[in-house]
């Protein structure tokens, strides 16, 4: 098994899939890339058993075919040191050794038998749809931050893909905050739902940041498969029933405030410095066209108070939030102004982008739970 490949091209492709690999594992083979050589094409795989990513490199010079696994960290580390140049790989299948030849010299690596590498999973009896990578990238970036980080409730540590005939809704929540993001320009053609883990979504987000190619999404009851022209990812889905998120969204919110998003974020960041480190609590006092934002830390006698101008329709209201959660929600909105819908101090608060600047193919709702106002 012999082939010649560009050093920078190989490095770029290996870095794209290296995020799958775990920093520590009890199976040494999971620290390797699987190289599969075909006619003028090299396919490289990486897996952690839950997620498998593959990348195809075209234009490789080869007269033979075969497969070998190579330690991932070692091959990436050596590739980083090379300027652009062709590298020759000569594989000895008898002892699984790999000799790499460059303009500077030769380097010997010991790999493993490709037969030891976990079998690449396949989707069986699945459904599929196609989506633009930029749309999927946006959906992932707008939702994953709201998913839970604990392992106690696995279904809440992922993002729900809720498919219908003419749209897809992406939902994430950790019980403190919730995001519902719907795209009407994705047409799955059938009703279904599945829960994607956060790790593969982050890997896809990194890939889609540098491509605008269409993505084929295929899924069944246990796995989901994402394919672009050169990259594929298949992962195990989270098993379980997603909580009824619709039940926690309040639809009767008589108190409505429109305010500059950036002015509010800047004020929150300043005032939050003076909040209690254990609660991160900030308080809103809304009256007329004025929003008063305050925080205090009784343990250290620290406090802060700022006033912002807003457009408000509703009764005078005092309500408190965890500043960290509120800032995370606000950072997920792109419009200059936001609409904040409230009812009572102990009821969930809805935050929406301004209607004027919103995408007609997109519907985004964000929810944040208030906290008990300190006396």
pLDDT for 211 equals 79
Domains of the chain: 2-116 (3.10.150.10), 127-246 (3.10.150.10), 249-368 (3.10.150.10)
Distance CA 116, CA 216 (A): 29
Q: How far out from the chain centre does Cα 179 lie?
A: 13
Whole-model pTM: value is: 0.92
In Å, what is the CA distance from 162 to each residue of 83, 135, 143?
Answer: 46, 15, 13
The per-residue pLDDT for 225 is: 97
Count helices and strands in the chain by DSSP H and E runs: 6, 26
pLDDT score at 39? 86
Closest to 146 (Cα-Cα) out of 135, 159, 137: 159
Candidates 41, 63, 50; CA nearest to 20 is 50
Residue 87 burial (10 A CB sphere; 0-12, 13-18, 19+): buried
In the numeric block, which tokens belong to residue 323? 């500043």
> Could you list the mean pLDDT of each consecutive 10-residue stretch along the chain, which spans 375 residues?
96 96 86 94 96 96 93 96 97 94 96 94 88 95 94 92 95 97 94 96 92 91 94 96 96 96 98 96 97 94 97 97 97 95 96 81 96 79
Among residues 287, 284, 270, which one has the least CA distance to residue 349?
A: 284
Of 232, 240, 84, the closest CA to residue 156 belongs to: 240
Distance CA 211, CA 216 (A): 14
Helix ranges restricted to H, the chain: 7-17, 72-80, 133-143, 198-208, 261-272, 323-331
Length of the chain: 375
Residue from 13, 12, 8 nearest 85 by CA: 8
């Amino acid at each position: 098994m012999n082939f010649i490949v560009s050093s920078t091209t190989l490095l770029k492709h290996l870095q794209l899939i290296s995020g799958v690999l775990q920093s520590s594992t009890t199976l040494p083979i999971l620290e390797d890339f699987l190289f599969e050589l075909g006619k003028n094409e090299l396919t490289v795989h990486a897996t952690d058993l839950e997620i498998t990513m593959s990348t195809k490199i075209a234009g490789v010079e080869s007269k033979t075919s075969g497969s070998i696994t190579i330690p991932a960290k070692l091959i990436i580390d050596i590739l980083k040191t090379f300027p652009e140049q062709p590298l020759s790989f000569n594989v000895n299948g008898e002892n699984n050794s790999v000799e790499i030849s460059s303009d500077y010299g030769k380097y010997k690596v010991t790999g493993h038998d490709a037969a030891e590498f976990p079998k690449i999973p396949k989707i069986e009896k699945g459904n599929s749809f196609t989506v633009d990578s930029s749309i999927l990238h946006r959906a992932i970036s707008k939702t994953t931050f709201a998913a839970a980080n604990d392992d106690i409730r696995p279904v809440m540590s992922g993002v729900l893909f809720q498919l219908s005939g003419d749209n897809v809704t992406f939902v994430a929540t950790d019980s403190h905050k919730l995001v519902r993001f719907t795209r009407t320009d994705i047409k799955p053609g059938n009703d279904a739902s599945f829960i994607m883990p956060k790790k593969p979504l982050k890997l896809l987000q990194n890939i889609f940041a540098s491509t605008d190619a269409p993505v084929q999404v295929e899924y069944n009851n246990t796995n989901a498969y994402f394919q672009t022209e050169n990259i594929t990812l298949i992962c195990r889905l989270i098993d379980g029933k997603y909580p009824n998120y619709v039940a926690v969204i309040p639809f009767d919110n008589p108190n409505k405030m429109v305010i500059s998003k950036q002015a509010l974020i800047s004020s929150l960041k300043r005032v939050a410095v003076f909040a209690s480190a254990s609660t991160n609590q900030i308080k809103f006092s809304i009256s007329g066209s004025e929003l008063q934002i305050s925080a205090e830390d009784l343990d250290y006698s620290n406090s802060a108070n700022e006033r912002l101008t807003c457009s408000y329709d509703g009764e005078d209201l005092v309500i408190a939030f965890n500043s960290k959660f509120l800032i995370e929600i606000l950072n997920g909105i792109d419009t200059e102004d936001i609409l904040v819908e409230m009812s009572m101090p102990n009821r969930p608060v809805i935050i929406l982008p301004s209607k004027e600047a919103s995408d007609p193919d997109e519907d985004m709702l964000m929810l944040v739970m208030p906290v008990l106002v300190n006396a």
